[in-house]
Structure 1
């Protein structure tokens, strides 16, 4: 699984992934009135959420053209981040699933999360300083794959 490979490549050796329960994911879905894509649910339930990413150093050292993915949000954090940031500028159609080191957000679009679960949904980056949204990948899987290139560790 891509998320497992991401954790192996970009997490510190002593940092275990945060476990995620199906109940917590379902509670987040109910609170946000959405359904997470199947590929996202399958990976976070099987792998957990990688912690302690050392990605920022590699991006700087190797001049990688990637956004700094600093932290994946747990289901309760997804709700908290999404609801609180909607109040201060995050577009209402975005659901936060991860953050960078500067407070910008990686998100799903609620338009793709309505009407029951789908296999995949695009990932967007919302830059909170510029208030701009950019589509990064057409799926969670492809977004994670973008961090698994052939760069040195």
Structure 2
């Protein structure tokens, strides 16, 4: 059997080991808590940043809406409108120009002014070409052109 003095020493070594073990466990828990606190604060920081970004974005959208509401109404391009008015049949001038103008304003709302102008020009050319062709046929221009081509080709 071991002597009592030896047991006291062993017990004190054991007690010191336990206290170190508990201290290391406490330190490990404290480290885990510190890591969790850092992760939570980082998440809170990111969330705050995202909320600030969302607020800025919503403010920007609201400013854009206000700017669009204040913007003056876009004017129909004058030259294509004049061409339509000159080429369209007299009894349909108001209807043709009015329909084109209405389409233009719808396109401005949907696509923006630049693209609406481009679409207006395209639709004007598409509308004017058949009218010019029919007027040329009435004037006999097509017949004259065909006869000239026949003479040249032989």
TM normalised by structure 1 equals 0.26
Higher strand share: 1
Q: Which has the higher contact order (CA 8 A, sep 6+)?
A: 1
Bigger Rg over Cα: 2
TM normalised by structure 2 equals 0.26
